[in-house]
Amino acid sequence: MSLEFNVINKENVSPSLLTKENLNLRQGEFLVMNSIMHLHKYVRESRGSLKAILQAIRKLNPALLTVVEQDANHNGPFFLGRFLESLHYYSAIFDSLEASLPRSSLQRIKIESSHFAEQIHNIVASEGSDRVERHEKADQWRRQLGRAGFQIVGLLTNYPEIFLALASFFFISYLLKHKNQVLVQWPILGTVPSILFNSTCLHDWFTEVLKGSRGTVLLTGPWFTKTDAFLTCDPANVHHILVTKFTNYPKGPEYSEKFDVLGDGIFNSDSTSWMMQRRMAQAHMSSNAFRQCLARTSREMVEKRLMPTLEHACDEGRIVDLQDVMLRFTFDNACALIFGVEPRCLSIDFPVVPFAKALDDVEEAIVFRYIVPGKLWKLLRWMKIGKERKLVKAKETIDKFISQCISVKLEELKRVPKEIREKNEAEKGKDLLTSYMDSTLSEPEMEGLKYFKFLRDTTLNLLIAGRDTTSASLTWFFWLVAKNPSVETKIIEELRTKCQHVESRKLVGFETSDLCGLVYLHAALCESLRLYPPLPIDQKGVLRPDVLPSGDAIKPGEMIMYSIYAMGRMEWIWGEDCLEFKPERWITKENELKFEPPNKFVAFNAGPRSCLGKDIAFTQMKAVATAVLYNFHVQVVEGHQVSPNTSVMLFMKHGLKVRLIKRQ
């Protein structure tokens, strides 16, 4: 689209000048005329001059005429009226100047003397044809334009293409003006456009923002909305939020609403409900019966599911998405530990499991809720369209699966005699659903639908924690090891040194007892979690006014987020080599594991909400890592792009495509 500008730069424009010939108009051209602070000079006492100008413009048949004028009544016939009107109008302007520019400012002196002084003098002291500053109210302009044949139109409704063009011009101009800024504060919209522009690389962008803002920054939402949020990676702030003032920073209703699919489970709960659920989870997960179940299940899943699948892919020379393999493995493993069932999601034919697919759809919808304004996704939820429609269907699939598991388990508890069950549990251990049922069936308040909902919410929360965090952590670990051959060599050497008693079999797996003394492997896992934490960012609500150690004042109703991903990339936290994968930073001179405070290494949270499954996670990760690395060399496909996805959990955007080579 070509544009041509014709500026009429004359003090007095006559109707004879406003013709198609003088303006060089061609047939079929789209004419837009713009008058800025000029037409009021043709308002005479007889109004004939203005009428002639407007009629000449009307004959040109412009598609659009824009008129910019002061909304003031400076055309009265009497001196006193003009004086009082000018006094009130220009006093407001001078008050604005007083607030924005000092009196000694050359810019202010020039504005006052060359512009406003001449206007005021002409309005107050001139009469007749000498008085040209004849400003009128907006209603009077509408009537004058209407009599000349013009129709008042809304720019957005009648000419959306012009509105979009003007908006695009403003948008591009503003963007170019602030192109060197990482975080741009937009008029009206706050930082929302900046977040949307960088939504495909959000975690890395947050890191750059925090590097240039002392570790804490305010992300503003649109005007007239309560969506401001503080983003921090300062360990002092994190300790303050998670430990010192823990009760002042709950999950909050906004978090629970976004994660409503989790129900009233431990991740969504606060206060008394959270304390009760945490006590129960801690008791069940630390019981001997569950620990026995954990050891047996982890070993069997590795030997009977993971190793055969990887061996089959290796023998066929297939390229494998190791992220998909880890997700399938941890899903099967978590279902076995929690429900006592094995969906067989991980097998050589990689079947589609509706329940696993439903969990992926849930996480996708939750990410969408974080990116778009709350009113929009709530409207979509009410209309049941888009991501929210997928979420509804996913929730139905999840509820159906869990309901079947609970029903089968209840029937089993009623059908199998207690003596036989206790004998089986002594040999194989007890899954978490059975453990919860044994402890709650006798409680009257857990009856009926309330009982089913409690079991549903509890098991779903545990399943998501066991599936996603471990699979994401293992995926990034294998990628880092593949990119750092020296680390891989040291892990293999440690395994061969510490586990010499392991019998030589076709594919070697390790007992839980073999994994405890692997210092270098543990350090490598910690280093991987430092750089790529499975939960890259978390949020808290605010109950009472507070001041963070960084000096930032927090108000009730605001949200505060802490970026665990960014913390691992700050030189002032981890040193100049913070971007390097160095397991040695976790090992002392005595070859022992080095302790790092939880507010610095937040992969397993800190304070009262610290992760209950930390030991379980390390046990499972070590079992998988040792089995895979001891038996196979993992080779990332050349040219495969690896980058974090913008998701609730830190998965890889394009998966992890690898080839597996058997070790001799």
Phi and psi at residue 288, in whole multiples of 5°?
-60, -35
Q: What is the pLDDT, as a whole number, of residue 74?
A: 85
Answer with the residue of higher pLDDT: 250 or 64: 250
Q: How confident is the model over 87-126, as pLDDT tens digits? A: 888 888 888 888 778 888 888 888 888 778 888 888 888 8
**Which pLDDT band holds residue 445 (cuts at 50, 70, 90)?**
very low
Q: Is the pLDDT of residue 594 over 90?
A: yes
Average pLDDT over residues 260-274: 88
Question: Of the segments 308-317, 413-422, 476-485, which one has the largest average pLDDT value?
Answer: 476-485
Q: Is the pLDDT of residue 443 over 50?
A: no
One-letter amino acid at 272 equals T
Lowest mean pLDDT among 26-35, 295-304, 433-442: 433-442
Q: What is the DSSP string of 128-157?
A: GGG-------HHHHHHHHHHTT-----HHH
Q: How confident is the model over 524-569, as pLDDT tens digits? A: 999 999 999 999 999 999 999 999 999 999 999 888 999 999 999 9
Closest C-alpha among 147, 160, 169, 159 to residue 63: 159
One-letter amino acid at 579 equals L
In percent, the amount of the chain with pLDDT more than 70 equals: 91
Average pLDDT over residues 619-640: 93
**Which pLDDT band holds residue 157 (cuts at 50, 70, 90)?**
low
Whether the CA torsion 489, 490, 491, 495 is positive or negative: it is positive
Answer with the residue of higher pLDDT: 155 or 392: 392
> What value does the mean pLDDT of the chain take?
86
**Cα–Cα distance for residue pair 387/262, rounded to 1 Å:** 17
Q: Is the pLDDT of residue 65 over 70?
A: yes
- DSSP count for the chain of H helices, then E strands: 26, 11
Q: Is 37 left (phi over 0), alpha (psi -120 to 50) or beta?
A: left
Question: Of the segments 192-196, 251-255, 612-616, which one has the largest average pLDDT value?
Answer: 612-616
Q: How far is CA 263 from CA 44, 452, 453, in A?
A: 72, 12, 8
Lowest mean pLDDT among 77-81, 453-457, 572-576: 77-81
Query: What's 416-456 look like in SS3?
Result: CCHHHHHHHHHHHCCCHHHHHHHHHCCCHHHCHHHHHHHHH
Phi and psi at residue 489, in whole multiples of 5°?
-60, -45
Q: Is the pLDDT of residue 660 over 90?
A: yes
Query: What's 332-361 look like in SS3?
Result: HHHHHHHCCCCCCCCCCCCCCCHHHHHHHH
**Which pLDDT band holds residue 444 (cuts at 50, 70, 90)?**
very low
**Residue 428 C-alpha from the chain's centroid:** 42
Under 8 Å CB-to-CB from 449, ≥6 apart: which residues? none
Closest C-alpha among 319, 310, 317 to residue 632: 310
CA atoms within 13 A on the CB side of 322: 30
Average pLDDT over residues 457-476: 92
In percent, the amount of the chain with pLDDT more than 90 equals: 38
Q: What is the pLDDT, as a whole number, of residue 100?
A: 76
**Cα–Cα distance for residue pair 217/232, rounded to 1 Å:** 6
516 known member of a binding site: no
Lowest mean pLDDT among 38-42, 50-54, 503-507: 503-507
Identify the helix (H) or strand (E) that includes residue 64.
strand 64-68
Average pLDDT over residues 340-344: 88
- The secondary structure of residue 226, as a DSSP letter, is -
Tell me if residue 97 falls in helix, strand or coil: helix
**Which pLDDT band holds residue 446 (cuts at 50, 70, 90)?**
very low
Q: How confident is the model over 193-217, as pLDDT tens digits? A: 888 888 888 899 999 999 988 899 9
